[in-house]
Chains A and B, each alone.
Chain A
Amino acid sequence: MLDQSEYAFNELRHLVSERAIQGETMLLNMGPQHPSTHGVLRLLLELDGEIVVNCFPDIGFLHTGIEKNMEAKSYEKAAVMTDRLDYLNNLGNNLVYCMAIEKLADLDVPVRAQAIRVILTELQRIASHLVWLGTHTLDLAAISLFWYTFRERELILDIYEMVSGQRMMTTYFRPGGLWRDVPVEFENAVREFIKIFPQRIEEYEAMLKENPIFIERTRDIGILKAEDAIHWGVTGPLLRATGVEQDLRKADPYMGYEQYEFDVPTQTAGDTYARYQVRMEEMRQSLRIVQQALDKLPYGPVRSNNRKFVPPPRSELGTSMEAVIHHFKLWTEGFDMPEGSVYVAAESPRGVLGVYLESDGGPKPFRVHWRTPSFDNLQILPELARGHLVADLVALMGTTDFVLGDIDR
């Protein structure tokens, strides 16, 4: 009756309905190698015809033990692993990790570094939403948009390559500031992007806003109510599309977000189309923030001057014995973190991204826990999918905008 292994059946027996055991409904495996699961997610579906009766996400295929590995590395070296969590929000991960260290060590961040961090994470938000838009519409059979969004994303990745030498795994933010200052071409490249991007959003919307197929596939699909969203710990655009105006950039500003003017877009419908509207508007707001941050980008150092945590510049090594000692200590052993624990959170493109960092006073983190938005957002998927068609499930996976690297860690 069941094609599953004995184990799967026994484990899931108490989860599936009586009808599945009788053979009235079908159990179908979707993924882990399925193009619309955006990575390696396995969904076990219980189907009545084409209607989803229940769905069980099975995660862990991308589990790389990053939390465990970080415990074996010094703080600065562990920063490299943060890029690999949510690979569409590398700089956002860098940012939260650095914020946690800065909070625990009471390390200052120069204003120029803060402004550049804001510019780059907002560009990252746009890039992440572009990948979402491209793949989401691709899942809904609108292939052309995918090429357009990836064209614009390339411009952002070029900016990353310019500042850090890497397109994706940048590790550009370091505890106490940035790896190094941005090159002179940076400002023009960002201005160029700000100039062309608003029209491009218009172009995307022209393709989707009045597109009957797109509307048909997204309106009233997977309606989420505000109280359910909060009960399930859902954050980010999913929560804002239910009418809750919750954004950590406004609620609990970090990195000087309080000095920028921007709106938190919300919708009340809570369906897939509302989530699409929220994300489109978020891209415009991010652009506004980038524009303001760039206009008043201050000059000055980009890394803290605290030599106990930040290695001295190369130029000092030839003349100062103390600098040589600091250089040696910081690059071999790393810095000793004061004892204690902090929890720091920031708004990633997918929701609340938090780091719980605990130190026992040594040069390696005692415990790092990543509160990743996709982990909680995926939990709601069965609730959203119940009663919809399998084809709508594909739309729901797209609109949840999860990244498996973020879920499995």
Chain B
Amino acid sequence: MNKELEKTASALVERYSVELRESRGQTNLIVSAEDIIEVCQTLRDEFGFNFLEVETAVDYWPRQEPRFHVIYQLYSIEKHIRIGLRVPVSGVSPGLPTLVGLFANANWREREIWDMFGIRFEGHPNLRRILMPHDWQGHPLRKDYPLGYEEVQFTFNAEEIDRDKPYAEE
């Protein structure tokens, strides 16, 4: 691991309840949803990670606790190093605080996550769908969302589908 990165990671492990994970030469920290704003603030102001490169999510359905991981990649333009953050999010009314106050480009990235995964960002100024039409039902990148087709309803699975997808009733 890069010296700078090592220093940053150990400082964060000391201060917050984060878990350090390294694989393939990349450093990732598992951060809880309560800490994410503070961790990002510390990384930005103290350690120079001033650039939000990625904000996205992964769905681990059918696992529910945690169902999602929200993934951040912060980059330091001066030191040319990158650190990854992963925030586990529950599958029951998923939500976490917004980063818009720290990084302006989180605005659209969080709208995309809301659109694609249905994860709410508390405090977001304009949490609307961004890629899908405004009246779209469901969140396409979730693993329980079918790819390009609707499941055919038969007598044996009709109720199950109606339960999972209220919009399938017609």
Q: What string of 1s and 0s marks CB contacts (under 8 Å) between B97-127 and chain A? A: 0000001110111000000100000000010
Q: What string of 1s and 0s marks CB contacts (under 8 Å) between B61-98 and chain A? A: 00000000001010001001010100000000000000
Contacts of A408 in B (CB 8 A): 131
> A158 contacts the other chain (Cβ, under 8 Å)?
no
Q: What string of 1s and 0s marks CB contacts (under 8 Å) between B5-24 and chain A? A: 00000000000000000011
Nearest-CB distance from A205 to chain B (Å)? Answer: 30
> A60 contacts the other chain (Cβ, under 8 Å)?
yes
| CB < 8 Å neighbour of A366 from B23, B58, B133, B148 | B58
Contact B80–A379 (Cβ < 8 Å): no
Contact B147–A343 (Cβ < 8 Å): no
Contact B53–A371 (Cβ < 8 Å): yes
Contact B133–A65 (Cβ < 8 Å): no
Nearest-CB distance from A18 to chain B (Å)? Answer: 17
Nearest-CB distance from B96 to chain A (Å)? Answer: 17
Say whether, besides A67-B141, A230-B50, A371-B54, A379 and B131 are in contact (CB < 8 Å): no
Q: How many residues of B contact A (CB 8 A)?
A: 38
> A179 contacts the other chain (Cβ, under 8 Å)?
no
Query: A283 to B109, alpha carbons, bound, how many Å?
Result: 31
Contacts of A104 in B (CB 8 A): 24
| CB < 8 Å neighbour of A342 from B24, B105, B129, B131 | B24
| CB < 8 Å neighbour of A65 from B71, B109, B134, B140 | B140
> B32 contacts the other chain (Cβ, under 8 Å)?
no
| CB < 8 Å neighbour of A103 from B24, B54, B107, B128 | B24
> B26 contacts the other chain (Cβ, under 8 Å)?
yes
Say whether, besides A68-B141, A68-B147, A343 and B54 are in contact (CB < 8 Å): yes
Of residues 380 through 409 on chain A, the ones whose CB sits less than 8 Å from some CB of chain B are: 408-409
Say whether, besides A244-B77, A354-B73, A60 and B50 are in contact (CB < 8 Å): no
Contact A60–B54 (Cβ < 8 Å): no
Contacts of A362 in B (CB 8 A): none
Q: How many residues of A contact B (CB 8 A)?
A: 43
Contacts of A7 in B (CB 8 A): 134-135
Q: What string of 1s and 0s marks CB contacts (under 8 Å) between A335-373 and chain B? A: 000001111010000001010101000000011010100
Query: A14 to B134, alpha carbons, bound, how many Å?
Result: 16
Query: A251 to B129, alpha carbons, bound, how many Å?
Result: 35
Nearest-CB distance from A348 to chain B (Å)? Answer: 13
> A375 contacts the other chain (Cβ, under 8 Å)?
yes
Nearest-CB distance from B4 to chain A (Å)? Answer: 14
Contact A343–B132 (Cβ < 8 Å): no
| CB < 8 Å neighbour of A233 from B51, B58, B128, B140 | B51
Contacts of A68 in B (CB 8 A): 140-141, 145, 147
A interface, CB within 8 angstroms of B: 7, 11, 14-15, 59-60, 63, 65, 67-69, 71-72, 103-104, 106, 230-234, 244, 246, 251-252, 340-343, 345, 352, 354, 356, 358, 366-367, 369, 371, 375-376, 379, 408-409
A-B contacts, 7 of them at CB < 8 A, read: A11-B128, A59-B130, A67-B116, A69-B148, A230-B77, A252-B80, A340-B24
Shortest 10 CB-CB distances between A and B: which pairs?
A233-B105, A60-B131, A251-B80, A369-B56, A63-B131, A371-B54, A367-B58, A232-B104, A376-B105, A231-B104
B interface, CB within 8 angstroms of A: 23-24, 26, 50-54, 56, 58-59, 71, 73, 77, 80, 82, 84, 103-105, 107-109, 116, 126, 128-135, 140-141, 145, 147-148
Give 13 new A-B contacts, CB below 8 A, not counting A7-B134, A231-B105: A14-B126, A65-B140, A71-B147, A231-B104, A233-B53, A233-B105, A252-B80, A340-B23, A341-B58, A356-B56, A356-B71, A369-B54, A369-B56
